[in-house]
Amino acid sequence: QVQLVESGGGLVQAGDSLSLSCAASGSTFSRKPMGWFRQAPGKGREFVAAFIWKSCSTYYGDSVKGRFAISRDSAENTVYLQMNSLKPEDTAVYYCAARQRPYYSSDYYYTRTDDYDDWGQGTQVTVSS
């Protein structure tokens, strides 16, 4: 069981950068897939990025490829989302997620909400035009 707390959200202008943090407690997230999702009003929760320890790989949603980067600090049990070239359409509540169940396979990227077991409370990111 992992408790997740996101931070770093706020109000920025289009073209700016912002870094989000997700602090884990209760259990280490070493060797556990971690993900970022976002949800705008009236929309479903959208996949943003995933970090898969087993394959040492990252994967990104089409809307953020080339602009966002996921990383982790295992020593401090923290995962980050670096957001660059922000656009108004990036405005959403951003959620950190952790998987507790075994891996499905070595080449799966965990892009669905049902792939994860623990979620943070979310942090608001607002990008003005």
pLDDT in tens, 4-14: 999 999 999 99
Q: Which amino acid is at 26?
A: G
pLDDT at 25: 84
pLDDT tens per residue across span 26-78: 765 566 889 999 999 999 999 999 998 777 789 999 999 999 999 988 666 88
DSSP the chain: --EEEEE--EEEETT--EEEEEEEESS--TTS-EEEEEE-TTSPPEEEEEEETTTTEEEE-TTTTTTEEEEEEGGGTEEEEEE-S--GGG-EEEEEEE--SPPS-TT----SGGG-SEE---EEEEEE-
pLDDT tens per residue across span 62-119: 999 999 999 988 666 889 999 999 999 999 999 999 998 888 887 889 999 999 999 9
pLDDT at 28: 59
